[in-house]
């Protein structure tokens, strides 16, 4: 995780607590899960299951499946289609997990 390349233009947004890879963060409540990961400075959200290369959200509209993460320890799903929820557990995906 590094400095975020994105900023939120909404002043004093309502905050929401999420747990990303076991670390607790406060993020604006209106963010999608993919948006939250970018906001928190995650440059990559998964490792590609074939090549192991880093991948990140690409289309943000549910077409490309590049933003697959696990939410609340469930199945992998598209982070762009889900809104953050209080105490949501978000885990980015590594190659080993996919296989």
Partner 1 sequence: MNKIYDYLIIGAGPAGMAGAIEASKAALSVLVLDQASSAGGQIYRNLGQTKPQQAFVLGNDYLAGRPLLAEFMAANCDYKPQAQVWHIETHEQGFIVSALINGESTTYVASHLLLAHGAMERPMAIPGWHKPGVMTAGAGQILLKSSGLLPKEVILAGSGPLLLLLAQQYRAGGVTIKALLDTTPKANYWRALPWLVAGLTTPKQLIKGLWLTLAQRIKVPYITGVSDLQITGEHSACGVRYTVAGTVHNIACEVIMLHQGLISETQMGQLLGCSQRWSDVKQCWHTQVGAAGQTSVAKIQVAGDAGAVGGGYVAQLQGRIAGLTRAHNAGKIQTRQSKVRLIWLKLRVKQLNWAQGLAERLYQPAKWLSKPSGCTIVCRCEQVSAATITSIASAGCAGVNQLKGFTRAGMGPCQGRQCGLNMGYLVANAQNRPMSKVQPLSVRPPLSPISLGQLAKGTDW
Of the pair 18, 39, the CB lying nearest partner 1 is at 39
Which residue from 38, 35, 43 is spatially nearest to 80, judged by alpha carbons? Answer: 35
What b/e string do you get for 33-52 counting C-beta neighbours within 10 Å, with b at 16 or more? bbbbbbbbebebbbbebeee
Least Å distance, CB 34 to partner 1, is 8
Task: Please give the residues from 27 up to 86 whose contact with partner 1 meets the rule CB under 8 A.
Answer: 28, 30-32, 35-36, 38-39, 43-44, 48, 50-51, 53-66, 68, 74-75, 80-81, 83
Which residue from 46, 41, 42 is spatially nearest to 92, judged by alpha carbons? Answer: 46
Residues near partner 1, by CB under 8 A: 5-11, 13, 28, 30-32, 35-36, 38-39, 43-44, 48, 50-51, 53-66, 68, 74-75, 80-81, 83
């Amino acid at each position: 995780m590094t400095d975020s390349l994105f900023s939120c233009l909404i002043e004093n947004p309502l905050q929401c607590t999420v747990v990303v890879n076991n670390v607790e963060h406060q993020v604006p409540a209106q963010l999608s899960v993919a948006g939250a990961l970018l906001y928190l400075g995650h440059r990559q959200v998964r490792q590609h299951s074939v090549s192991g290369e880093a991948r990140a959200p690409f289309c943000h509209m549910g077409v490309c499946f590049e933003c697959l993460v696990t939410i609340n320890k469930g199945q992998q799903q598209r982070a762009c289609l889900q809104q953050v929820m209080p105490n949501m557990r978000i885990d980015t995906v590594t190659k080993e997990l996919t296989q």
